[in-house]
């Protein structure tokens, strides 16, 4: 029963070929490297040693033997052995020849020349040359188409030494080629194994160091690394969702902690922190800072008679007009109730401060439309204080501007008032 069940299940669910394992990839890569190196080295050695050396040595000896045969032809015809001996010595002495023999048609040696004075190294090279190169060449000495004798020439092996050096150079070239092939194979291994692991490590470092949860590991052809990358990417997906939710919550909490909920302006704590930083920068750079304390003149009346919705609409409109009138680098905040304050970096002259205050007052001339469609008008009283002219710290600067604002509200004949220098508290 069990074998039949297994057979039917296997037929219904065909087996997919598994991805190669890391061990198999490594073994296959090293096998390719070893086989390539051995095969390439063998081919190069055989080609250099047996093709080039033998062909060159045989052709050279044949050419020398024919040259000697042509030179001693006359000496053989006239049976002049000394002349033949001298001719052989003259030619063979300057060539890479070990010995030369002239053998007549009866098998007797007509002339014989053998190189003398070779050292042990030359004799060792000659013995090796006898094994690796042709044993010698034999050419006939002819006259009028008749063979008079034969010349046998045997090489010394000096040229073999030169070719041996060339062969070593060829082997070195082959080794370089093998290294090149090995490098290509190593790169293949690097691409298949090392690079995916390194990429995964880089993503892990980026996530840990920079919280880059949007990074992903690319797919690889190796089964273990592919599964590891998939699991890691799935984990990053969960982290990314968690991080996005956490950032939204933190941004909301941060905005609520630093901004007024009704107007969207920075609150007192955030403003005082920015003012403290502005004063530090001004001290370091030797510049000035302007501070405008702003209070709505009719807010309490509108809020009490028309309701809180009308009061909220007035505050929102005042905040919007303040933002629109001030410069981009200026900061306006709501301190509470109907009190606002503006930070003006670089405002170093009273004339500039009064010009800004005048612009803010004029921005309030337009009617404010309430939720029910009714329109009301209001004005603002502004107190102006400058750092370091009127005060040297946050609390004193705010107090000076607040005092100037109440003076402007009491006079009622103008919308702004500059702090008095003699009332400066340092």
- List strand residue ranges (DSSP E) for 62-128, in order: 97-104, 109-114
The CA-CA-CA angle for residues 197, 202, 206, to 5°, reads 150
List residues bridging with 417 in a β-sheet.
Answer: 383
Catalytic residue (choose from 295, 338, 393, 402) = 338
- List strand residue ranges (DSSP E) for 67-187, in order: 97-104, 109-114, 137-143, 146-155
Q: Which two tokens stand for residue 213?
A: 């949860």
User: Is 99 assigned a catalytic role?
Assistant: no
Do residues 279 and 394 make contact, with C-beta atoms less than 8 angstroms apart?
yes
Q: Alpha-carbon Rg of the chain, whole angstroms? A: 53
Task: Tell me how far apart the alpha carbons of residues 375 and 363 are, in angstroms, rounded to a whole number.
Answer: 16
Do residues 100 and 20 make contact, with C-beta atoms less than 8 angstroms apart?
no
Q: Give how far Cα 188 sits from Cα of 39, 177, 194, 219, 394, Å.
A: 20, 17, 10, 16, 66
Task: Tell me how far apart the alpha carbons of residues 279 and 285 are, in angstroms, rounded to a whole number.
Answer: 10
Task: Tell me how far apart the alpha carbons of residues 282 and 388 are, in angstroms, rounded to a whole number.
Answer: 9
Do residues 58 and 160 make contact, with C-beta atoms less than 8 angstroms apart?
no
The CA-CA-CA angle for residues 391, 393, 398, to 5°, reads 70
Residue numbers annotated as active site: 338
């Amino acid at each position: 029963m069990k074998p039949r069940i297994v057979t039917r299940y296997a037929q219904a669910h065909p087996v997919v070929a598994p991805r190669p394992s890391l061990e198999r990839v490594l073994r296959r890569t090293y096998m390719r490297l070893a086989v390539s190196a051995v095969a390439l080295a063998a081919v190069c050695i055989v080609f250099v040693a047996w093709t080039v050396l033998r062909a060159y040595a045989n052709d050279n000896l044949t050419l020398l033997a024919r040259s000697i045969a042509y030179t001693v032809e006359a000496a053989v015809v006239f049976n002049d052995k000394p002349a033949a001996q001298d001719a052989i010595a003259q030619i063979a002495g300057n060539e890479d020849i070990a010995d030369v023999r002239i053998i007549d048609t009866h098998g007797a040696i007509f002339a014989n020349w053998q190189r003398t004075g070779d050292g042990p190294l030359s004799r060792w090279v000659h013995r090796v040359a006898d094994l690796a190169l042709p044993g010698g060449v034999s050419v006939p000495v002819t006259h009028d188409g008749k063979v008079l004798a034969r010349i046998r020439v045997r090489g010394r092996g000096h040229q073999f030494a030169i070719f041996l050096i060339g062969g070593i150079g060829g082997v070195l070239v082959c080794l370089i080629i093998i290294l090149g092939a090995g490098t290509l194979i190593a790169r293949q291994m690097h691409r298949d194994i090392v690079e995916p692991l390194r990429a995964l490590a880089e993503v892990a470092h980026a996530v840990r160091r920079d919280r880059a949860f949007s990074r992903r590991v690319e797919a690889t052809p190796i089964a273990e690394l592919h599964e590891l990358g998939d699991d890691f990417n799935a984990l990053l997906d969960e982290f990314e969702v968690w991080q996005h939710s956490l950032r939204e919550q933190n941004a909301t909490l941060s905005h609520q902690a630093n901004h007024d909920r009704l107007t969207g302006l920075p609150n007192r704590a955030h403003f005082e922190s920015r003012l403290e930083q502005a004063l530090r920068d001004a001290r370091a750079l030797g510049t000035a800072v302007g501070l405008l304390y702003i209070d709505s003149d009719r807010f309490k009346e509108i809020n009490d008679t028309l309701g809180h919705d009308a009061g909220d609409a007035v505050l929102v409109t005042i905040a919007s007009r303040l933002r629109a009138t001030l410069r981009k680098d200026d900061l306006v905040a709501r301190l509470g109730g109907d009190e606002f304050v503006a930070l003006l970096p670089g405002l170093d002259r009273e004339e500039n401060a009064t010009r800004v205050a005048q612009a803010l007052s004029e921005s309030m001339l337009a009617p404010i439309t309430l939720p029910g469609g009714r329109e009301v008008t209001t004005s603002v009283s502004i107190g102006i204080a400058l750092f370091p002219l009127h005060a040297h710290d946050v609390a004193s600067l705010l107090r000076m501007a607040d005092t100037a604002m109440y003076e402007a509200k009491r006079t009622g004949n103008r919308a702004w008032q500059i702090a008095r220098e003699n009332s400066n508290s340092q």
